[in-house]
Amino acid sequence: MDYQVVVLAAGQGRRMGAGENKVLLDLAGAPVIVHTLRVFETDPSCKGIVLVIRDDEKEQFRALVEDYRLKKVRTFAEGGKERQESVRSGLGVIKMDQKEIVLIHDGARPFITHREIARVTEAAAESGAALLAVPVKDTIKQVADFTVERTLERKSLWAAQTPQAFRLFLIRRAHQESLETHFMGTDDVSLVEQMGLPVKIVEGSYRNIKLTTPEDLVIAQTFLQRGEE
Ligand code: CTP
Ligand code: MG
């Protein structure tokens, strides 16, 4: 099923501590963002990519898109201070029918696969909103002041990933409502949850990591050396 995607690259990468935007760091010969964009570039179902970037990095990203011949990146949007603002900016410039499916994806997740994309796109076509997620492996404690308040039941816990997929009109409405109520979510589907609407989970892969801290880069290099599994 066809879709368009908003790819987010307007962060600072503070937790990576590299002194520059982590999606521009080299990973086995190409910047992280190039690995991510190539997955969509080579997916026949992807009909267009909106790349959300910071204004002061515009030239760098434009050069990458040109050099690596990423032809589906036809539109750039300017990112905001918070991820949610960057998403809203991307959704504001996308050109497609309101009933079609839009994906929102972290530029820092280069290991997404065509198969996972197809599954989350299908799920959103059925339910309006869907996300990839994996069962949590760790035991999660709820803590205050370095003291355990309670242990959450692992059976019911899933770790959210991207892409998260939506009918365009639904995610646009969710953003409008969040703006009015000043709701800030840490992912995209939480804005739809806030409206009281159902969100479907699609079981993803533990390989679809987000490069967040320096050790994630080591894991990413290992994945690339070993190839598909
Ligand atoms: N992102 C964005 N705009 C923001 C914040 C984040 O487009 N204002 C993007 C990042 O570029 C990244 C994705 O959203 O691809 C996921 O965010 P995160 O992992 O938090 O990246 P950063 O915000 O860059 O990292 P940190 O929080 O450690 O500073
Ligand atoms: Mg961040």
Please state the domain count of the chain. 1
In short, whether 52's Cβ falls inside 6 Å of ligand 1 is yes
40 C-beta neighbours (distance < 10 Å), count: 25
**pLDDT at 15 exceeding the cut of 90:** yes
Which pLDDT band, with edges at 50, 70 and 90, does 86 fall under? Answer: very high
The pLDDT value given to residue 227: 81
Q: Which of 53, 83, 210 to mutate to test the pocket of ligand 1 (most atoms within 8 A of CB)?
A: 83
Give the Å distance between the CA of 11 and the centre of ligand 2: 6
DSSP reduced 3-state for 34: helix
Q: What is the pLDDT of residue 36?
A: 98
Distance, CA 13 to ligand 2 centroid (Å)? 7
pLDDT digits (tens, 9 = 90+) for 29-53: 999 999 999 999 999 999 999 999 9
Distance 1 CA to ligand 2 centre (A): 30
- Using a pLDDT cut of 70, give the percent of the chain over it: 99
| ipTM here | 0.99
Q: Does the pLDDT of residue 228 top 90, yes or no?
A: no
Domain that holds residue 222: 3-226
pTM as predicted: 0.97
Q: What is the mean pLDDT of the chain?
A: 97
Ligand nearest to the CA of 23: 1
- Rounded to whole angstroms, the Cα distance separating 42 from 27 reads 19
Residue 223 in this model has a pLDDT that exceeds 70: yes
Q: How far is the CA of 12 from the centre of ligand 2 (A)?
A: 7
> pLDDT at position 229, please?
63
Output the pLDDT for position 47. Answer: 98
Q: Average of pLDDT values for 70-74?
A: 97
Ligand nearest to the CA of 13: 1
> Is the separation of the CB atoms in 215 and 15 below 8 Å?
no
b (16+ CB within 10 A) / e for 53-86: bbeebeebbeebbeebebebbebbbbbeeebbbb
CATH of residue 162's domain is 3.90.550.10
The single-letter DSSP state of residue 205 is: -
- Ligand lying nearest the CA atom of residue 15: 1
Mutation to probe ligand 1, out of 56, 103, 106 (largest number of atoms < 8 A from CB): 106
From 8, 52, 81, give the residue whose CB has the most ligand 1 atoms within 8 Å, as the site to mutate.
8
Quick: pLDDT tens for 101-135.
Answer: 999 999 999 999 999 999 999 999 999 999 999 99
pLDDT digit string (tens) for 133-160? 999 999 999 999 999 999 999 999 999 9
What's the angle, vertex CA 83, arms to CA 77 and CA 89, rounded to 5? Answer: 30
